[in-house]
Structure 1
Amino acid sequence: MPSPIPVTRLLPRDFGLKLGVCSSPLTKHFEHSTLRVPVNAIHAKLACRLWSSVIHWRELCDLESIGSGGFGLVFKATYFGEIVAVKRVKCAKNKLASRQSFWAELNAAHLRHENLVRVIAASTQSNGDEQLGGCSSSVIGTIIMEYAGDVNLQQLIYSAAEPLCTESCVRYAADVARALRHLHANGIVHLDLKPANVIVSPGGVCKLADFGCSLKVELVLDRDSSARRMEIGGTYTHRAPELLRGEEVTPAADVYSFGVTLWQLLTREPPYEGERQHILYAVVAFNLRPDLNKHVFTAGQGSSFKELLSRCWSAEPSQRPNAEQLLTDLSMEFPT
């Protein structure tokens, strides 16, 4: 029995098609994947962007717990013979926030890009309790995604023994900028960009993950946006000052977070030290930013990095570069 997630909920409005619920078995291969999605009687433009709203629980095998948190549990598994990641979203104390986080995870489910973790299937059915842990009443939903790699950028920055050369930092930053460019072009803001949410594949390609705080720009701009803005989550060390003030959400907020992430790549240090509330106040009231007087910003190409980060952290969102400009600057100032 299909789950109550309508396929049309997360697809762009310009498709203009009336569709039923996805069904499987699966019939068409995506590039670089053996997993398939249903395409019978579906417009070709839709088929290449489709994710399944049905999880075939019997095909979900070899589950191994690899993480947990307030949101629930993450597993490594196989699905139709391919290694995948499985996120089991549980109901936290704030039930509304848990549900919003689950649906936000699917904001980019219809997108396909080499620098975004691909959603394969999602369901609000309560099946799989025995395999995935938790009782039906505590589960919001389950999401199956591509397994992008064993390491995230946070681990690479702070735990890897080998040094991070400038070339690697620029390459990783460019991957993240390409992910943002694709998201923003499709009307989605991530709102929780940080190293822990960037997976590094075995081939060294960065893929942006964890869309639990994301928003569709068209929804941000509706008449209820002021109330919705007050509920925006994210990580305080990477959150743009306008979000802390409860102001308008724009793609520029992701660019601010990109700047903090690039600073971490270059320095391999935490962006701030001190009490959370003191930092939040100083970011808004006194334009506190991560330290740009470190040695890495004075030697070699350091001054160019310093100038780029300063623009990413402008207190005025309209003065920040967009994702396309970030890519241009990275390729011109720091060719790899």
Structure 2
Amino acid sequence: MPSPIPVTRLLPKDFGLEFGACSSPLTKTASGSTLRVPTNKFHGKVAHRLWSSVIHWRELQALEPIGSGGFGTVFRGTYFGETVAVKKVKCVKNKLASRQSFWAELNAAHLHHQNIVRVLAATTCTPAHLNTKDNIGTIVMEFAGNINLQKLIYGLTDLLPVEKCIKYSIDIARALQHLHAHGVVHLDLKPANVLLSEQGVCKIADFGCSFKISSTSDTVTHMNEIGGTFTHRAPELLKGEEVSPRVDVYSFGITLWQLLTREPPYEGDRQYILYAVVGYNLRPLTSRNVFTQFFIGQNCQKLISRCWDGDPSIRPTADKFVDELSVLL
């Protein structure tokens, strides 16, 4: 699993800061078991391109729960007067997994892209009056909306035009393009982890399963513990093989299929599905009308089939399917 992002890697060489300490479960500095973090407030241009390792708690107000998951709860609130989302990562039975999930959330914190939910601040330090025994850390993020694609696909009765599906898929593809260019693999791409803003822009969220691939490492990366959602998990992950950006491409193929069909990808026993995906190349059906009666659907069917191919080398890169999807609009 990924290590926390060193603050010094995010700062210009000539940028001076005072540093304070914030406990980290996964790193040690030369002076002890603490992660060194900036204690001062950023100003000017730097404030727009860096996430902060300090949360100004007095500015964080009006927290209202809007969702929860295996590792924490998400709130909507205000931070310096702006609407934000706040994720509190809790400690579950597997304490190491909880801590890894918190630090994995920060794998893309240094990236700014219109289709990726931006991290504003994160810390493991919580004031005594706000702290709870099961709290691992807190992350303040931009508020990207109340609706995710899961709700849009299965919860709304309104028609979802093919053109709009393509537009949403291009947003997701551009986010993957940016992540992969910076060595970040999401590992849990699915409709529930794609938020839809009020402006109709899709943004990838929830990086708790993500992985940072080191460009300097000569070793092949394997996942000892597989996170993510089994319906969207690439066969090579199920077989314990190499982790690469192509696992996100597989998940993208399943997600695009869901957008176009508005149906669940599989039904039946979980273990049977996992076995059939690996052993018999089980995939969702592409014989639906949307793939056969329309030119756009026919092209999407071909792209989807390549995205979820059992051979990762056959799958297109994010760069490739951004181009392929863009010409369909």
Per the normalisation by structure 2, the TM-score is 0.88
Q: How far has the Cα of 1:160 moved from its partner?
A: 1.4
Which residues in structure 2 correspond to 1:135-214 (within 5 Å)?
135=132, 137-214=133-210
> Matched residue of 1:102: which SS?
helix
Q: What are the Cα deviations for residues 216-247 of structure 1, in whole angstroms up to 9, with x where unaligned? A: 11189565844xx1213000000000011010
Structure 1 position 121 matched with structure 2 position 121: yes
Q: How far does the alpha carbon of each residue in 1:169-227 deviate from its partner, in whole angstroms, 9 at most, with x for none? A: 0000000000000000001000000000000000100000000010011189565844x
Say which SS state the counterpart of residue 122 (structure 1) adopts: strand
Residue 75 of structure 2: aligned partner: 75
Matches within 5 A, 1:54-133: 54-127=54-127, 130=130
Aligned to 2:317: 322
Question: What one-letter code is carried by the residue in structure 2 that aligns with 1:27?
Answer: H
Partner amino acid, structure 2, of 1:326: F
Offset, 1:127? 2.2
- Tell me how far 1:128 sits from its aligned partner: 6.9
Q: Which residue of 2 aligns with 1:41?
A: none
**SS of match in other structure, 2:281:** coil
Evaluate the alpha carbon distance shift between residue 187 and residue 17 of structure 1 in structure 2; reply closer, same or farther with a 3 A threshold.
farther
1:177 counterpart letter in structure 2? A
One-letter code of the match for 1:173? S
Classify 1:274/1:83 alpha carbon distance in 2 versus 1 (closer, same or farther; 3 Å): same
C-alpha distance in structure 1 between counterparts of 2:323 and 2:128, whole Å? 46
**Contact map agreement 1:220 1:249 (CA 8 A) in 2:** no
- The answer for unaligned runs of 5 or more in structure 2 is 20-36
Q: Percent identity?
A: 61
Counterparts of 1:303-322 in structure 2, within 5 Å, are 303-322=298-317
Residue 52 of structure 2 corresponds to residue 52 of structure 1? yes
Distance 2:324 2:15 in 1: 40
User: Within 5 Å, which residues of 2 pair with 1:24-63?
Assistant: 24-28=40-44, 37=47, 49-63=49-63
Write the distance in 2 (CA, Å) between the matches of 1:77 and 1:246.
40
Aligned to 2:214, the other structure's residue is in SS state helix
- Assess if the C-alpha contact under 8 Å between 2:220 and 2:242 holds in 1: no
2: CA distance between counterparts of 1:81 and 1:178? Answer: 30
Within 2, Cα distance between the matches of 1:247 and 1:219?
A: 18
Q: Which residue of 2 aligns with 1:293?
A: 287
CA–CA separation in structure 1 for the residues paired with 2:139 and 2:203: 17
Does the aligned pair in 2 maintain the 1:77–1:83 contact within 8 Å? Answer: yes
> Which one-letter code corresponds to 2:38 in the other structure?
C
SS at match of 2:98: helix
Q: May I ask how many residue pairs the two structures share in their alignment? A: 307
Q: SS of 1:74's equivalent?
A: strand
* Alpha-carbon distance change, 92 to 292 in structure 1, aligned in 2, over 3 angstroms: same
Q: Which runs of 4+ in 1 moved over 4 A?
A: 14-20, 219-224
Higher helix proportion (structure 1 or 2) = 1
- Relative to structure 1, the CA distance from residue 179 to residue 63 in structure 2 (aligned partners, 3 Å threshold; closer, same or farther) is same
Please state how far the C-alpha of 1:50 moved relative to its aligned partner: 1.4
- Alpha-carbon contact 1:258-1:312 (below 8 Å) kept: yes
Does the CA contact (< 8 Å) of 1:91 and 1:140 recur in 2? yes
Task: Look up the equivalent residue of 1:308 and give its one-letter code.
Answer: L
1:129 deviation in Å? 5.5
Counterpart residue number, 1:283: 277
Report if the CA contact (8 A) 1:6-1:53 is conserved. no
SS of match in other structure, 2:293: coil
Match of 2:166, as an amino acid?
V
Does the 8 Å CA contact 2:224/2:240 hold for their aligned counterparts? Answer: yes
